[in-house]
Chain A
Amino acid sequence: MSYQEVSAQIELLGWRDHQLSSISEQLKENFPQLRKHLLKQVITEHLVKKVNDASESDFEALAYQLNSKTQKAVQDWSIKQCKTAIKQANKQLKEALNKFPKDFVFSQNIWKQFSIALPQSLNIGPIGDDLTETIIVPSFAYEINLTAYQINKRSIVLYPWPESQLRHIRERLKEDLLEAVHLIVFGDDGLGKKKKKKKKKPNDVDEIICVKNKIQAIIIQNGQKEIQERVVPCP
């Protein structure tokens, strides 16, 4: 590859790396908002009341409601984050591309290199235009059902629960739910080695592609499309 091709490739990889880090940073910064929302809207107003009033047979329905409420909150938040990231990434890609001379030719060589520049962890296949379809949180139900199952098990022994038990259930549910949300958003790579080993996960959790990786993949694939449009086809 010529020097110009290598420097173009390095410029684009610099853009990619900056986007990957920026998205992580953006989600990390804004996650407390989601947490606060979940604590207030879902956990305090919905969960606490329901747990207090629930009978043994209500728990399946409660778990279902929690799933859908939490899932919707995370989904809405994720799409908002994705839109912000797209806007930022497009602006920065434009700036990066403007650094090239006007008559710069994006050769097949540059494209070939950048088209495979998606880190393996972000290889989630082709992405459509509908963000709602892409940023879906399918594994939520499993996490919350697991928690609900633990409560049902307890309920066999302890129902009707004393206040101390109710408090315990509420705390456990809150912790599990927030942990599950964290897992869905960031994956398990932010948990730390010790915590990661300790954490009991459903078997299929390793296959979850977290929201962060999905947004990163969307941004990089969008960038690839933008660059592909500039590539001059071989004569």
Chain B
Amino acid sequence: MPIEKFFLREIPPHVLDGVNSGAYKVVGSVVRDVATGKGVAFLQETDVLQRSVGDALGLARSFPPLDMAVNAVQDTVIISKLSAIESSLCILQSLQIGTFALAGLNLGVSIATFEMMRRKLNLISEHLKIIEQKIDRITEDRRGDEISDIFATIEHHLENLKTITVRKNKIHTAHQIENTLGESAKLLGRRFNDQLGSIEKGMISKKEIELLWIILNAIMVCYDSRLRALFTIDELPAAKELADQRSQSYAELCQIISADTLARDELLLPAETFVKALRESALMFSGRSELIGHLIECNIAGPDYLNEIANENTAPLLIREMK
């Protein structure tokens, strides 16, 4: 028996036709009318999509190192596989999959549970250990150790968040953890900036760019977790503000970083993937902010929205049409 949906539905033919004909365009997670630029609908991914895309890409589902992400973005066979998974996924043909490597396709609200985020962080942490051995400079000033310490703190909080829904004082606890995750994200942001600032123009090394990628992924885990925590306790206005801030931060970062000023020759492609992921992340958070604004307007509670996505087990993509 199909699961009843209240807020979301499967992509209707008119939206698919619109995208296929070029009348509509998918920008980030929003379907837009090309002629007017107005939003038509929000896309919301489900776990079915994550599994399908992960299988098609052959990526470690939660955290692919930068090399893998670069290959995935370039590989036309993978892209065609992706579009062939299911008919409704043809809507994704116009999307780039660069950000998939960073945090999923990021259509709508993140579907990753706290446990999934914890597992992702573990993978990131393992990869950090591998590469920090190869970066003398970082080993010297023990920057890698500091990052590992921050990861340990984040992991501890993710453990606590897993039980948030059954806690007596869940609102207070979620606020506390959400704030602490914000502090951890800030510390990681500082490490990211330090690392970026130490790179000579056009001279980034493979290890340095991998380290930036790792920190960026970990920051993403913090913000996805914070947003989910706020959804869980139905603090949507705060979630909207957070998504707005994040979008702005990524957009500002994109202004000062370009692949050309970071890297040369064989590292240009990884640098392009990295910068592209940053740009798409700015769009993703902005799309989330718009979706959250819409949910607030329509009086849809955060936990109800999350439940509806979690209960979907057949459709890879759902849609919320804008009235």
Contact = CB atoms under 8 A, between A and B. Distances in A.
Interface stretch (A112-120, A162-170, A226-234): A112-120
B251 interface: yes
Majority SS at the chain B contact face: helix
Given A10-B279, A121-B261, A100 B37 contact: yes
Given A6-B282, A113-B251, A20 B30 contact: no
Nearest to A192: B203
A189 B199 CA distance: 11
B37 A101 contact: yes
Contact of A7 (B28, B36, B244, B268): B28
A64 interface: no
Contacts of A2: 286, 290
Contact of A6 (B34, B251, B264, B272): B251
A20 B259 CA distance: 8
A16 B280 CA distance: 15
Contacts of B35: 101-102
Contacts of A14: 279
Nearest to A21: B260
B31 to A, nearest CB: 12
Contacts of B261: 20, 119, 121
A87 B42 CA distance: 38
B254 interface: yes
Given A1-B286, A13-B255, A116-B255, A7 B27 contact: yes
Contacts of A17: 258-260, 272, 275
A126 interface: no
A220 to B, nearest CB: 10
Contacts of A117: 255
A24 interface: yes
Contacts of A121: 201, 261
B247 A6 contact: yes
A99 to B, nearest CB: 8
B44 interface: no
Majority SS at the chain A contact face: helix
A200 interface: no
B225 interface: no
A6 B203 contact: no
Contacts of A104: 37
Given A16-B258, A17-B258, A189-B200, A101 B34 contact: yes
Interface string A148-176: 00000000000000000000000000000
Contacts of B37: 4, 100-101, 103-104
Interface in B191-215: 200-203
Contacts of A199: none
B166 interface: no
Given A113-B251, A119-B261, A120-B256, A190 B290 contact: no
Q: How large is the interface on A (under 10, 10 to 19, 20 to 34, 35 or more residues)?
A: 20 to 34
A102 B268 CA distance: 35
Contacts, number: 87
Contact of B283 (A7, A102, A190, A216): A7
A3 B259 contact: no
A201 to B, nearest CB: 14
A9 interface: yes
B255 A113 contact: yes
A198 interface: no
B248 interface: yes
A97 B84 CA distance: 31
A6 B260 contact: no
A116 B254 CA distance: 11
A132 to B, nearest CB: 25
Contacts of A10: 251, 254, 279-280, 282-283
Interface string A11-54: 00110110011011000000000000000000000000000000
Contacts of B201: 121, 187, 189
Contacts of A216: 260
Contacts of B39: 3
Interface string A190-232: 1001001000000000000000000010000000000000000
Interface of A: 1-4, 6-7, 9-10, 13-14, 16-17, 20-21, 23-24, 100-104, 113, 116-117, 119-121, 187, 189-190, 193, 196, 216
8 contacts: A2-B286, A7-B283, A9-B251, A21-B258, A23-B260, A24-B260, A101-B35, A117-B255
Interface of B: 27-28, 30, 33-37, 39, 200-203, 244, 247-248, 251, 254-261, 264, 268, 272, 275, 279-280, 282-283, 286-287, 289-290
Given A1-B286, A190-B202, 20 more contacts: A1-B247, A2-B290, A3-B28, A6-B283, A7-B27, A10-B283, A13-B251, A14-B279, A17-B258, A17-B275, A20-B259, A102-B35, A103-B36, A103-B37, A104-B37, A120-B256, A121-B201, A189-B203, A189-B264, A196-B203
User: What 9 pairs between A and B have smallest CB-CB spacing?
Assistant: A189-B202, A101-B37, A20-B260, A6-B286, A3-B290, A117-B255, A17-B258, A189-B201, A21-B260
